[in-house]
Structure 1
Amino acid sequence: MSNQEVTQPVDAAGLAQAFVAFAVEAGVLRFGEFKTKAGRMSPYFFNAGLFDDGAKLARLAQFYAQAIVASGIEFDMVFGPAYKGIPLAATVAVELAHMGKNVPFAYNRKEAKDHGEGGTLVGAPLQGRVLIIDDVMSAGTAARESIALIQAAGATPHAVAIALDRQEMATENGQDVAHSAVQYVRQQLGLQVCAIATLADLLAYLGQQADGEATMAEHYQRVTAYRQRYGVAG
């Protein structure tokens, strides 16, 4: 798939399927047995840190920008939480500018700088409606930290854009809860959430690939079983 194909208008389902295929091709989305932060053994793993060269990162930014624009979310600037969110915010801001929406971006440091400009925030001043850009959402912790930083600066945390919505139960104090991290951010924190793709999209991709391919059929069965045990609707 060429860069031009990604930037052309496509329906949300088509964009999601193209993204899942891209993530698999790039080795970012892998299948096997992986332990999650919640202590579960997941049959798949998404590691955005493996979008690790210029071409992959550029295509990733195109997918983010396309999904954000298609979502209709209104925002005044983008913010990237340290650390993975930093290159995401920068490259997505570049791609949005290419699409005709030039907005400021900022990011934070994990440790405050005690010289030069000082502080923990870098880039444009936080103001207006802020779109937070991150890779995935496991518990909403990173979102809460970003919200606190944005509010402390006098701006409005408005929405979050992520690459993949795992659509699975979050955990609180080591226990499964009925809602996902994305649902928590939407319902309890009041932020809109835009995901390029979801677990449902991943299953649709595996279902299409499973015909005549035993390995993909096995992955489809294992991911389906995982969703039946831990999945949430929506």
Structure 2
Amino acid sequence: MEQYKKEFIDFMLECQVLKFGSFTLKSGRQSPFFMNAGAYVTGSQLARLGEFYAKAIHDNFGDDFDVLFGPAYKGIPLATACTIAYSKLYGKEIKYCSDRKEEKDHGADKGALLGYKIKDGDRVVIIEDVTTSGKSIEETYPKIKAQETTAGGIKIVGEIVSLDRREKAPDTTKSALETISEKYGFPARAIVSMDDVIDALYTNGDKKVITEEIKKEIDAYYEQYGAK
């Protein structure tokens, strides 16, 4: 496992973003772990978060993109922090863009987008916190493609999330990221997966965070909901 991935797992714990216990998800599933990207609240936390995303994007997609698209609302600070970090780490100026929940009908920046206005010729990476079912992309994808004036004018290079939960999406045995890749034709990746988390904190860790009891709960959860 790359060093920055190990550091990111520690970072999530330090910021109390990744927790273990008993949590009811939006899907109704009862999960033994939970990730809340809304817990990154300080300047230093967001700066480090942007760097972790930048390293993962660079590893997975290289520099062949122009725009980071962060879906409202949590995607807005992610895209902003990552564009700053990418410039700092790799010397490449990329732009950030987000959608508005309600289209603005006045002023010089009216429209459906916030920040840079994507257009034909742009190469876009979508940045999100986490995806369990893959439903969010069903809203994001058409909003991006709606900015095209010619079919295929905007290329979506890929999607990056912070944590791949490695559980099956609805109506399939495959993970949300795998189903996104198959349906939309671009790679969907994560900074780390739950496999990485278990490896770092349990298999090769001190078992203080993921204890034997928590590991049993995780195993039972994946027996029922794990992607195949």
Say whether the fold is shared (TM-score over 0.5): yes
Partner residue of 1:4? Answer: none
SS of the residue corresponding to residue 184 of structure 2 reads coil
Report if aligned partners of 1:203, 1:224 keep a CA contact under 8 Å in 2: no
Q: Deviations over 1:61-87 (max 9, x none)?
A: 111001111113432211110000000
Report if aligned partners of 1:34, 1:42 keep a CA contact under 8 Å in 2: yes
Give the alignment partner of residue 188 of structure 1, picking from 158, 161, 183: 183
2: CA distance, partners of 1:142 / 1:134: 9
Give the alignment partner of residue 127 of structure 2, picking from 129, 133, 140: 133
**Residue type of the partner of 1:125?**
K
**Aligned-residue offset at 1:214:** 8.4
TM-score norm. by structure 1 comes to 0.87
**Residue type of the partner of 1:209?**
G
Flag the structure with higher strand content. 1
Partner residue of 1:156? Answer: 155
Partner residue of 2:73? Answer: 83
1:15 aligns with 2:4: yes
Provide the alpha-carbon RMSD of the alignment.
1.7
Partner residue of 1:165? Answer: 164
**Aligned-residue offset at 1:180:** 1.5
**Residue type of the partner of 2:116?**
A
**Aligned-residue offset at 1:108:** 1.1
Partner residue of 1:26? Answer: 15
SS of the residue corresponding to residue 174 of structure 2 reads strand
1: CA distance, partners of 2:159 / 2:37: 16
Q: Deviations over 1:159-214 (max 9, x none)?
A: 11100000101124xxxx21221111111111212210001011112213344x48
**Structure 2: runs of 5 or more not aligned:** 149-153
Q: Is the alpha carbon distance of 1:190 and 1:221 closer, same or farther for their aligned partners in structure 2, counting shifts above 3 Å?
A: same
Report if aligned partners of 2:72, 2:101 keep a CA contact under 8 Å in 1: yes
**Residue type of the partner of 2:199?**
A
Q: Is the alpha carbon distance of 1:22 and 1:64 closer, same or farther for their aligned partners in structure 2, counting shifts above 3 Å?
A: same
SS of the residue corresponding to residue 220 of structure 1 reads helix
Report if aligned partners of 1:34, 1:44 keep a CA contact under 8 Å in 2: yes
Give the alignment partner of residue 115 of structure 2, picking from 82, 105, 123: 123
Q: Is the alpha carbon distance of 1:23 and 1:215 closer, same or farther for their aligned partners in structure 2, counting shifts above 3 Å?
A: closer
* Corresponding residue pairs, total: 217
**Aligned-residue offset at 1:225:** 2.5
1:147 aligns with 2:122: no
1: CA distance, partners of 2:201 / 2:28: 24
Partner residue of 1:95? Answer: 85
**Residue type of the partner of 1:62?**
E
Identical-pair percentage: 36
**Residue type of the partner of 1:80?**
G
Q: Is the alpha carbon distance of 1:178 and 1:91 closer, same or farther for their aligned partners in structure 2, counting shifts above 3 Å?
A: same
Q: Deviations over 1:124-153 (max 9, x none)?
A: 121311101100012222212221111110
Report if aligned partners of 1:78, 1:131 keep a CA contact under 8 Å in 2: yes
Partner residue of 2:151? Answer: none
1:53 aligns with 2:42: yes
**Structure 1: runs of 5 or more not aligned:** 1-11
The list of structure 1 runs, each at least 4 consecutive aligned residues, that deviate by more than 4 angstroms after superposition, is none
1: CA distance, partners of 2:185 / 2:216: 35
**Residue type of the partner of 1:114?**
D
SS of the residue corresponding to residue 178 of structure 1 reads coil
Give the alignment partner of residue 212 of structure 2, picking from 214, 217, 225: 217
Q: Which moved more, 1:195-204 or 1:139-148?
A: 139-148
2: CA distance, partners of 1:139 / 1:215: 24
**Residue type of the partner of 1:193?**
A
Report if aligned partners of 2:198, 2:210 keep a CA contact under 8 Å in 1: no
Report if aligned partners of 1:77, 1:103 keep a CA contact under 8 Å in 2: yes
